[in-house]
Amino acid sequence: MAVEVVVDTNVLLVAEGKHPDVSEECVLACVSRLQKIMQAEIVVVDDGYRVLGEYQNKLNSRVGKGVGTVFLKWLLQRQANVNHVVQVNVNEYEKDRYVEFPAPGIEANFDPPDRRFPAISNAHPAKPAILQAADCKWLRWWPELQEAGISVRFLCPDDICGFYRKKFPAENVPALPK
């Protein structure tokens, strides 16, 4: 069985070179991971086109040439092929609030558009990992998500910890998942 993943939008943006503050190692990690997905993994998205719509809002699949755009084109061309893309139903009961959100205690702290990723993972029977590149707030959220059965994989641990230090200088950087 192929590995299934949920891909946060910032992974595509980093791979596309649209996050100027990340290291070259982070860009390469995101590029490598997206290429690996295209070769042998399955992307899990929602059947309401929220994720694909967000990707298209951030990247233009008609003009971009980077790996993020190539990945988006790959997804759009294969969105009906369950060997590459699986769509799950998530129930939005108000804007950016989902019945399937797995950790209600932290939902209010989540950036509203980011709530879709844990909801999508939780709606899938296998609870696929969420791939995260550069949004340091996820360092605060992953422990509760993990308790709810949702794992977060940080593709750029050094970068994300550095961003956390800058954004929250009075706080200790939370531990990364093992």
pLDDT digits (tens, 9 = 90+) for 70-85: 999 999 999 999 999 9
User: What are 100-114's pLDDT values in tens digits?
Assistant: 999 999 999 999 999
Number of domains in the chain: 1
E strands within 8-141?
42-46, 85-88, 92-94, 97-98, 129-132
**Which domain range does residue 77 map to?**
4-167
Number of helices (H), then strands (E), in the chain: 8, 7
Token pair for residue 42?
Answer: 């399955």
Residue 174, domain member (yes or no): no
Q: Is the pTM of this model over 0.85?
A: yes
In CATH, what number is assigned to the domain containing residue 94?
A: 3.40.50
Helix, strand, or coil (residue 76) = helix
pLDDT band (50, 70, 90) for residue 162: very high
pLDDT of residue 64: 76
